[in-house]
Amino acid sequence: MSGNKEESEVEVKSVFIGAGCNRVVNNVSWGASDLVSFGAQNAVAIFCPKTAQILTTLPGHKASVNCTHWIPSTKFAFKAKQLDRHYLLSGDTDGAIILWELTLADKKWRQVLQLPQSHKKGVTCITGIMVSETDAIFASTSSDGKVYVWELVLPSAGGECKLSCLETLFVGSKPMVALSLAELPGNSGHMVLAMGGLDNKVHLYCGERTGKFVHACDLKAHTDWIRSLDFSLPICNDEANSILLVSSSQDKGIRIWKMTLRGSLTNNQGTYRKEEISLASYIEGPVLVAGSSSYQISLESLLIGHEDWVYSVEWQPPSITSVEETTYHQPQSILSASMDKTMMIWQPERKTGIWMNVVTVGELSHSALGFYGGHWSPDGNAILAHGYGGAFHLWKNVGVDVDHWQPQKVPSGHFAAVTDIAWARSGEYMVSVSLDQTTRIFAPWQNSASLTDKESWHEIARPQIHGHDINCVAIIQGKGNHRFVGGADEKVARVFEAPLSFLKTLNLATCQKSSFPENLQVDVQILGANMSALGLSQKPIYVNTVQETPERNGNDGLDTLESIPDAVPVVFTEPPIEDQLAYHTLWPESHKLYGHGNELFSLSCDHEGKLVASSCKAQSAMVAEIWLWQVGSWKAVGRLQAHSLTVTQMEFSRDDSMLLAVSRDRQFSVFTIKRTGTDDVSYQLLARQEAHKRIIWSCSWNPFGHQFATGSRDKTVKIWAVEQESSVKQMMTLPQFSSSVTALSWVGIDRQSNHGLLAVGMENGLIELWSLTINKSAAATLAVRFDTSLCHVSSVNRLSWRNPEKSEECRRMQLASCGADQCVRVFDVITK
């Protein structure tokens, strides 16, 4: 996984991807390949449940990805043993569906094709079945009221897939949002398609392998929208000629329907009458006619247990029973996921046959909303949920004789655009902030050898869970405890300080290589922080008061929206899971910085850790002032006036003698900053100049001198130099880029020759590295253009080099990026 081969000066590898899941139903699919797919904004992300890492993201969609579906899915894992290639379907909010191919041998992905007939509105569900080892039938539905049925012939050796549209069904003004396909038992050649949606009925259509789907009958019982449907494979018992359909709805109920080939009922009239009196009695429903066969449909069971909408139901995948792997057994087991924040496994009782809830798992979260979907692993030993908070939850059955479901580590990340990132002063971790109103810390966990051999990256803390979208962050440099300043869609900036529980967790994660050693941590008297009721300020929990927390009696109204359980800050010996991150890893807020008249937009800290600069959204020169704050006392020590519109980014020069700012008004400004006494700061506008034809989004200083780069919506990057006689002259303009330049970060490689790399991020998500050498003039060459499979699929919001002061010593550097596609990425950049 590297950049283009033609420019071989630099090699690029992906180290880490953090991303949250789009918050829609049917977005997640667990394939027979044992990989999980999900939509992360416009990308399809693939993660490996065994390593809890996102392996790659697939670029191709131009709109948000709504649903993904593996061919073969977990249900057909028993048919997929010989396949060397697996396929994935993904649909987006524009109605486009893309087919992807994964070659298992080398783990390479490629986009095979985009389906020719696209839906006019967003795709809401895709479902598929394997009718043979090389033949799959799948169906898609959309808000445009159409359902398409397709046949996909997989290549046996080499070759290409063959795709043909079998049928187009018009379902009227009330769209279908749930689909399921099955082959009818005892009647090869005929299939049944179940669909459900906004009219509260389950519609059954019969068709042949060649298409010709006709409406057969409706099942009326649910009293609200149908949300999920799933057919079982034929049940192998005395009556091999029946299949079960499970349906779930917003009426909080789950219904199991039985479809039995007529004949097996009429032959045994006696036994049928006996069953009618028992508890598991059938409620006779309609008859479905398919060709020469007919099927009696009956309501097998009604499952009541969830307290909110049931968004998904799924049969446990079949297990292989014989050594030859030809026969399979369909377990009588259903997984349901609901908005009540729980997933349940339902199974019939041995003696009575009554379906009971045998396992319940769930999450604690600040959000009042729960799960959008639940999925089985191919072997049925793990279950995965995805929820309203964009997060995954995985439970594994680790019991030997009895079931024992334990939470497992999963990838995590933001579920909205990531607006800013910053590295810790020694690079031990990275902080990211997002429009999802959270601040997250990602770090390489050194001792997680149980997950993989090399260090693996995980989210290790969530210092801030806020009530406003967060726009910017700056980590305080210098000595002492870890601190950062965050700016959200509010007029105050907030200062946070690391609590003791985080410092100890970081020590474990970095194997005691933290920049704030343990002997200094004795002064930290705060163990963690509690969420406030309104989700704005976070109050400290002090070390000596932890033991005195009164025991809560009973539930104390924990289920109400108003109350939030007390945080229990603990030291983690392994990467924390979502429930722990959502509650117990908050940092206390130590100061609020009042001064700006509008929502904060940009923050920067100097390299010595003495000053923080802040700016806010502005449409006048008065509001567009840059404020300087003194670290420690947090007094405002300067108000710098230079711009008439929002200052979009600021950066202190490497020697902290100058502050560079760029703005929406297309100008940059350079201020000289002098510290006259202990508290006093004097500043002076050295230069201000209109630099670009459009808004300037980003800027970055050369670490070895007083040269800087500016990047703009006019698709150009310009290099400037501050002259001795207090003026700024342009040195060069890089060749025009393919898209608006939205992020820049300059790192030094060789001080002697004043040589460095400039990372350039664009609005289309692409990243390039340019090699810059500054002497009397500037020379620039393209070092590497990142492969599109490594890049973001939407605007790059920030680029940042890890440990830039150590970059001269090592050939391997790391670059972090964040973007509007919900992703935080870390790359290895190896200079040859």
**Domain range list for the chain:** 329-411, 418-544+565-831
What digits encode the pLDDT tens for the residues 760-799? 999 999 999 999 999 888 899 999 999 999 999 999 999 9
DSSP state of 762: E
What pLDDT is attached to residue 177? 92
What pLDDT is attached to residue 376? 95
Give the angle subtended at the CA of 168 by the CAs of 167 and 174, to the nearest 5°: 140
Q: Is residue 290 a contact partner of residue 187, using CB atoms and an 8 Å limit?
A: yes
Does residue 594 carry a pLDDT above 70?
A: yes
What pLDDT is attached to residue 34? 92
DSSP state of 273: H
**Residues 568, 572, 577, 580: what is their CA dihedral angle, to the nearest 10 degrees?**
10
Count CA atoms closer than 13 A to 635's CA, side-chain side.
Answer: 6
Instruction: Output the CA–CA distances (angstroms, integers) from residue 130 to 154, 331, 451, 599, in the order listed.
Output: 10, 19, 33, 54
479 confidence band (pLDDT: 50, 70, 90):
confident
What pLDDT is attached to residue 283? 57
Q: Is residue 272 a contact partner of residue 260, using CB atoms and an 8 Å limit?
A: no
Radius of gyration of the chain (CA): 30
Average pLDDT over residues 220-249: 84
Q: Is residue 718 a contact partner of residue 692, using CB atoms and an 8 Å limit?
A: yes
The model's pTM is: 0.91
Q: Is residue 371 a contact partner of residue 25, using CB atoms and an 8 Å limit?
A: no
116 confidence band (pLDDT: 50, 70, 90):
confident
DSSP-assigned letters across all residues of 440-460: EEEEEETT-TTT-SS-EEEEE
Give the angle subtended at the CA of 603 by the CAs of 597 and 605, to the nearest 5°: 130
Q: Which of 495-509, 541-555, 580-594 has the lowest mean pLDDT?
A: 541-555
Q: How much of the chain, in percent, has pLDDT values that exceed 70?
A: 88
Three-class DSSP category at 3: coil
Q: For the chain, first and last CA: distance in Å?
A: 16
What pLDDT is attached to residue 256? 94
What pLDDT is attached to residue 136? 92
d(CA 614, CA 625): 9
Please give the structure tokens belonging to residue 89. Answer: 């379907």
DSSP-assigned letters across all residues of 512-542: S--SS-GGGGGG--EEEEEE-TTSS-EEEEE
What pLDDT is attached to residue 639? 93
Q: Pick the more confident residue, 794 or 132.
A: 794
Does residue 685 carry a pLDDT above 80?
A: yes
What pLDDT is attached to residue 542? 80
600 confidence band (pLDDT: 50, 70, 90):
very high
**Residue found by looking up tokens 């979502």 in the block:** 578
82 backbone φψ class: left, alpha, beta (φ>0; ψ -120 to 50): alpha
What digits encode the pLDDT tens for the residues 61-78? 999 999 999 998 999 888
What pLDDT is attached to residue 552? 40
What pLDDT is attached to residue 450? 46
Does residue 745 carry a pLDDT above 90?
A: yes
367 confidence band (pLDDT: 50, 70, 90):
low
Environment class of residue 242 by beta-carbon count within 10 Å: exposed (0-12), middle (13-18) or buried (19+)? buried
511 confidence band (pLDDT: 50, 70, 90):
confident
14 confidence band (pLDDT: 50, 70, 90):
very high
d(CA 710, CA 760): 10
512 confidence band (pLDDT: 50, 70, 90):
low
Instruction: Give the mean pLDDT of the chain.
Output: 86
**Residues 501, 504, 509, 513: what is their CA dihedral angle, to the nearest 10 degrees?**
140
What digits encode the pLDDT tens for the residues 309-346? 999 999 999 987 666 556 778 889 999 999 989 999 99
Does residue 478 carry a pLDDT above 70?
A: yes
DSSP-assigned letters across all residues of 323-384: TTS--EE--S-EEEEETTSEEEEEEE-TTT--EEEEEEEE---SSS--EEEEEE-TTSSEEE
How many CB atoms are located within 10 Å of the residue 776 CB?
Answer: 6
Does residue 304 carry a pLDDT above 50?
A: yes
Average pLDDT over residues 249-266: 80
Q: Which of 107-116, 277-286, 738-747 has the lowest mean pLDDT?
A: 277-286
Average pLDDT over residues 170-199: 88
712 confidence band (pLDDT: 50, 70, 90):
very high
Does residue 371 carry a pLDDT above 60?
A: yes
Q: Is residue 671 a contact partner of residue 682, using CB atoms and an 8 Å limit?
A: no
Average pLDDT over residues 47-58: 94
The CATH number given to 418-544+565-831 is: 2.130.10.10
What pLDDT is attached to residue 337? 94
Average pLDDT over residues 229-241: 74
Q: Pick the more confident residue, 460 or 812.
A: 460
Q: How much of the chain, in percent, has pLDDT values that exceed 90?
A: 59
β pairing state of 253-261 and 242-249: antiparallel
Please give the structure tokens belonging to residue 251. Answer: 């009426």
380 Cβ neighbours under 8 A, 6+ residues apart: 316, 317, 319, 331, 333
How many CB atoms are located within 10 Å of the residue 112 CB?
Answer: 15
Alpha helices in 38-87 (DSSP H): none
What pLDDT is attached to residue 794? 95
**Residue found by looking up tokens 């697939």 in the block:** 58
N residues, the chain: 832
Average pLDDT over residues 112-134: 89
Q: Is residue 100 a contact partner of residue 88, using CB atoms and an 8 Å limit?
A: yes
Handedness of CA 542, 547, 548, 552 (dihedral sign): positive
